[in-house]
């Protein structure tokens, strides 16, 4: 019995040692990004589109973001904070100009930190199109909205339509807005063989602001077709 007890004690000590070794291996700075991929879906050419990644410091030492490589000249990737205490988070907003890209396109920004010698690679996909796509069952009337203001009268709304040429109803969902200057009014469903109207509404606090960003919607849980629509606002009032 004493021999069995000694064996059990040895096993327990080995397990504890392995556990301590594992804990020490993961100690120090550590970065976590909940989702390293994003799909913008269908968009138009020569506009800016946005997506925000959240970076969190989950180690027990300060995380330092040492370098961000956007991936190409068409992409900007400013990070809000580069030094994160344990438990802190920061935003990394990716802004990509779609230029004359056409069809399936992939961009892979890289993040380097003091947590690892290897870069963390993000993956962004998009499908820029020069014209409306009449092949897919669902289309939108505009992939670029302009709510610029050129008179004293505030301009706050732009409307667009979503067309469903299929035989089934599709759910509609707002995935993300690239800035906080506007709200999107989006119907819950686009019925089969029908269309619905959605709206972009500039917030009261942003009526004196200019912006150039985007929002992404998704059509159908099964279809999972996405559209990213750019939204632009300039203010050019004569005499001001």
What's this model's pTM, rounded to 2 decimal places? 0.86
Q: Are 33 and 54 in contact (CB under 8 A)?
A: yes
| Secondary structure of residue 201 in the 3-state scheme | strand
Share of the chain above pLDDT 90, in %: 79
Q: Which of 77, 98, 99, 97 is nearest to 33 (CA)?
A: 77
Examine domains 31-128 and 132-233 and report if their fold is the same: yes
**CA–CA distance, 237 with 240 (Å, rounded to integer):** 6
- At 152-174, the pLDDT tens digits run 999 999 999 999 999 999 999 99
Give CATH for domain 132-233: 2.60.40.10
Binning the chain into helix, strand and coil, the percentages to the nearest 5 are 10, 50, 40
Where exactly are the structural domains of the chain? 31-128, 132-233
| Secondary structure of residue 139 in the 3-state scheme | strand
Q: For strands 83-84 and 63-69, give the pairing.
A: antiparallel
- At 48-98, the pLDDT tens digits run 999 999 999 999 999 999 999 998 889 999 999 999 999 999 999 999 999
Structure tokens at 81: 């904070």
Q: For strands 194-202 and 225-233, give the pairing.
A: unpaired
**CA–CA distance, 146 with 158 (Å, rounded to integer):** 7
> What architecture (CATH level 2) is domain 31-128?
Sandwich (2.60)
- At 184-233, the pLDDT tens digits run 999 999 999 999 999 999 999 999 999 999 999 999 987 889 999 999 99
Q: What is the Cβ-side half-sphere exposure of residue 174, based on CA atoms within 13 angstroms?
A: 14
Kindly give, in sequence order, each residue whose CB lies less than 8 Å from that of residue 153, ignoring residues fewer than 6 positions away: none
| Number of Cβ within a 10 Å radius of residue 114 | 17
- At 23-56, the pLDDT tens digits run 444 579 999 998 999 999 999 999 999 999 999 9
Put the strands of the sheet holding 89-97 in their side by side order. 31-33, 48-57, 89-97, 75-76
């Amino acid at each position: 019995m004493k021999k069995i007890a000694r064996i059990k004690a040895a096993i327990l000590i080995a397990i504890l040692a392995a556990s301590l070794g594992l804990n020490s291996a993961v100690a120090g700075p550590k970065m976590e990004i909940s989702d390293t991929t994003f799909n913008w879906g269908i968009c138009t050419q020569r506009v800016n589109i946005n997506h925000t990644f959240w970076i969190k410091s989950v180690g027990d030492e300060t995380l330092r973001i040492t370098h961000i490589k956007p991936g190409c000249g068409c992409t900007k990737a400013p990070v809000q904070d580069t030094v994160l205490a344990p438990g802190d988070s920061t935003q990394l907003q990716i802004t990509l100009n779609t230029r004359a890209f056409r069809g399936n396109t992939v961009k892979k920004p890289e993040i380097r930190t003091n947590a690892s010698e290897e870069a963390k690679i993000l993956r962004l996909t998009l499908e820029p199109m020069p014209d409306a796509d009449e092949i897919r069952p669902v289309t939108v009337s505009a992939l670029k909205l302009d709510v610029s203001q050129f008179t004293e009268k505030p301009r706050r709304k732009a409307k667009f339509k979503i067309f469903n040429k299929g035989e089934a109803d599709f759910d509609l969902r707002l995935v993300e807005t690239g800035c906080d200057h506007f709200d999107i009014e989006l119907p819950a469903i686009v019925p089969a063989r029908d269309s619905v109207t959605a709206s972009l509404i500039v917030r009261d606090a942003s009526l004196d602001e200019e912006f150039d960003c985007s929002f992404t919607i998704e059509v159908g849980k099964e279809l999972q077709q996405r559209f990213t629509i750019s939204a632009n606002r300039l203010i050019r009032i004569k005499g001001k």
